[in-house]
Structure 1
């Protein structure tokens, strides 16, 4: 990757930071657009990085960002949106319209390579608006046609230092004596953020990955209740988990989505109706995924007084 210029759209967030650090170590020159430069200041120490303060949703701006780049990495995603059919406006803007504009700009500017990070469970017939919008974004990538070599990655829920998943529950468990939980039986196969970044780098270097879709997952499947139980033990705040029947879970989600920076939404609950589990090998190329138990204690063990991090959730989105 030495000397290659890579545009990372969504590069200042949780996953983008891991990707940017790995690519920088591999010698790539990085361009990471951000709406607010201060939110990307943690990347300033990386060598050969540009941090233009722009709106990536503007087509003309996208074209300018792609000038002279060898590859584009698309990472933008949101977790919540006002509801609509087939998906809400925030989902449409981030997951569908933006990929369409990325493809159009890449083709116009002669960019030859695109890595698009979608989500495990993306399906046009899925129960949630989030999953359906992710599938529509994938369709836009696949429709790029000849000349743009794309690869789609579908990670399960991603964990690692600074995540908005395990850290969120660690903060909640520190504050409440019991955890009433909708979707307690939902199944996940969490994947380490470092593994996701490694696959992005490897895909950029493997021509055979062009035109392929890869699922990314960890070595083990957990129910949501099992994950929360584990987080409680590791963070020093074991709490009883109270599974909620679906009608109560629906009411809980409806109430939580009214909060600023919502912790849960009814669409999140719909997403959990489908298992977030890889259909085949957890990682491509025969790689062995990193176990959650080998990473999580290192960043959850000191979370006893840490509240749920709204900033962490914003970075992930």
Structure 2
């Protein structure tokens, strides 16, 4: 395997927290571009990893950091628009700028994070993911696109979000409980990308659907989280009329725990037809048996953070 100079965007998020250490272990030299490097100094302790504060929507900044890189990895993505951070800006405009920067600076290799069923359905999330894929596929670059189903792991946006809600109420109203998905472990997604980075021969100009071995409804997923946590919250499936109202209301709350676009995304089952893990020699972890370990890991992380806070205050 050849050591590469890699520039990563969106790497300080959930998937990046697993992928960066995995790539660093392979000996690559990695530059992470972040809005505020001071918030992610812990990642800079990894060997051959540096973090730079950068506005990735600035063409000059992109050109400067792409120049001299062997590979660029784009993990930028949002689940809800907030202010000027719209789906169009984060997914389409950002991808267009990045493709142009790679082409202008001579970078040939681009790895692009997308989503299973990108370009399908009614949600802006899926539509803009599809637009971004088209931009990449029509470019002259040597590209690979990753299309995961919903991703789970310690401190994720799936288990963590539902667990917090289940703990707060005796009955949980659930929109689109029959929506189907095949949750995939974040470590498996990171491993898939690392293998493609290491081997162009099996990943060049290809898209990989990445999904777990279990196909579950959203209701079954929430029930599994509840049971693994030892809770007794009753799950109440909502008809679409009430689910839409719930989404509109929740979308106005701080942090947008659920939005109308999330509701629309759930109208498209996140289940694939050709699992890219098989082509990459990866046996994906199932969701349900992993839950006890995920919950234990989340509890341990909270305890560690509490101990660090106590020690800091003790000084």
Q: TM-score, normalised by structure 1?
A: 0.90
Whole-angstrom distance in 1 between the partners of 2:176 and 2:4: 44
Report the equivalent of 1:95: 91
Q: Deviations over 1:78-99 (max 9, x none)?
A: 111279xxxx970010110101
Whole-angstrom distance in 1 between the partners of 2:78 and 2:244: 21
Cα distance change, pair 128–92 in 1 and its aligned pair in 2 (3 A): same
Report the equivalent of 2:127: 132
Higher helix residue share: 2
Report the equivalent of 1:293: 288
Whole-angstrom distance in 1 between the partners of 2:298 and 2:203: 39
| Stretches of structure 1 lacking an aligned partner (at least 5 in a row) | 308-317
Shift of 1:282: 5.6
Q: Give the root-mean-square deviation of aligned CA atoms.
A: 2.0
**Count of equivalent residues:** 299
Match runs of 1:104-115 below 5 Å: 104-115=100-111
Report the equivalent of 1:158: 151
Q: Deviations over 1:167-207 (max 9, x none)?
A: 11111111111110001010010001111011101111232
Higher relative contact order (CA 8 A, sep 6+): 1
Whole-angstrom distance in 2 between the partners of 1:259 and 1:17: 27
Whole-angstrom distance in 2 between the partners of 1:65 and 1:25: 22
Report the equivalent of 2:18: 18
Whole-angstrom distance in 2 between the partners of 1:283 and 1:3: 23
Task: State whether structure 2 residue 163 is matched by structure 1 residue 167.
Answer: no
Shift of 1:67: 1.9
| Stretches of structure 2 lacking an aligned partner (at least 5 in a row) | 303-315
Q: Deviations over 1:202-224 (max 9, x none)?
A: 11123231111110000110100
Q: TM-score, normalised by structure 2?
A: 0.90
Shift of 1:294: 3.9
Report the equivalent of 2:260: 266
Report the equivalent of 1:28: 28
Please identify runs of 4+ aligned residues in structure 1 that moved more than 6 A. none
Match runs of 1:114-263 below 5 Å: 114-123=110-119, 125-145=120-140, 148-204=141-197, 205-263=199-257
Alpha-carbon contact 2:91-2:128 (below 8 Å) kept = yes
